[in-house]
Amino acid sequence: MSKIRLGILGGGGDSLIGIVHRIASGMFDEFDLVGGCFNPDPNENMAFGKKIGIKKKRIYDNFESLIEAELSLPIDERIQVVSVLTPNFLHYPMAKKLIQNNFNVICEKPLTTTYSEAQELELEVKKKDLVFAVTYTYTGYPIVREMKQMIKDGAIGKIQKIDLQYYQGWINPIIKDPKLRKTVWRLDPDKGGLSCCIGDIGTHAFNMAEFLTGMKIDKILADLNYLYPENLMDVDGTILVRFSEYCKGVIRASQIATAEENSFTVQIYGENGCFKWNQENPNYLYQLMEGKPIQILKPGNSYLSDFSLKSSKLPPGHPEGFFDAMGNIYNGVAKSLRKAQITNGSYPSINEGVRGMMFIEKVLESNKNGNIWIKLD
């Protein structure tokens, strides 16, 4: 069986997300990276493409030339799926043209910079019947997938509260210096879009809440912090969420949480017990039940579900991390492209990307209008 031909836009040089996607795409031996445009600078783009083994003729100057050249190739040679790893403002124009020319897409989050753009892409994907994934990476962790399955099977009973906290501190030393702020594209509305913190990490927490519970958040109330009056992008926020009258919770996200690294903590409370998980210690899922000792579940063990076990590549006791989680998303995309049977949740779909953009806009609307409750679509 031949490998799926992959192209990449962005992610060159020392880009963190670039190396994550390139390693992840090779984990299950499903993809062959054959072309791309990795950097807007022509010389750096060519040098990087050669460095990672791409043939010169398939190192493209821009995404338009990639599409044009690939369409001129026989169908059994051209790129089948393109990963979009660029800054946020380029997601929509790139993804739109790729879809229009029948390329499957894997796109970094947030899907676009506006909700309306995201809705437009979803309609185009449905018309073309293409595979489109949005990389909410944390849903790929084997033990997170176990938590999802156990919640579905009723392990902690009916869900009544969620508490998700995603704290980073990397913007804290930058935000204090107006000159430094201008060097960070995530703090530039023209490149980052409507939101910094909520658009970057808050959307992960929103997606995780819906992924794990299998429910849709109905209403939100948000309070954002911009820290300085001249700063145009949020860097911290607290969002009350309501699934229903009797199931509520909170999402907290910050990129000015001093000295924090990448602390994404998930707590799901049911009527009989709860689950706790932290991304910085991703191999440990804590299950607390009324009147019983704490249980610790770890990936790769035979007591886990098929969904979790099929997401593990290592025996128990071997750490599985961020690369592995992204690899599982790529594996889900590969199975979908091959029309193989897949478990629900094997990769985040474009609909999840659309809901993520809706969440971002509604959070901003709630904050702008005096921290009021806003109903989600």
CA atoms within 13 A on the CB side of 347: 25
CATH classification number, 143-313+350-368, choose in 3.10.28.10, 3.30.360.10, 3.40.50.720, 3.40.50.300: 3.30.360.10
Question: To 5 degrees, how large is the angle CA 190–CA 133–CA 15?
Answer: 55
- Quick: pLDDT tens for 98-138: 999 999 999 999 999 999 999 999 999 999 999 999 999 99
- Quick: pLDDT tens for 27-68: 999 999 999 999 999 999 999 999 999 999 999 999 999 999
Say if residues 251 and 206 touch (Cβ distance below 8 Å).
yes
Average pLDDT over residues 338-360: 97
Q: In the numeric block, which tokens belong to residue 255?
A: 């990129």
Q: Measured in Å, how far apart are the chain's first and last C-alpha atoms?
A: 42
Domains of the chain, by residue range, sit at: 4-137, 143-313+350-368
The conformational region for residue 154 under phi > 0 = left, psi -120 to 50 = alpha, else beta, is left
Of 7, 51, 38, the closest CA to residue 25 belongs to: 7
Strand partners, 249: 162, 241
For all residues of the chain together, what is the average pLDDT? 96
Confidence of residue 182 (pLDDT cuts 50, 70, 90): confident
Average pLDDT over residues 194-222: 97
Of 147, 139, 207, the closest CA to residue 345 belongs to: 139
Q: Which residue has the higher pLDDT, 153 or 180?
A: 153
Class of domain 4-137: alpha beta
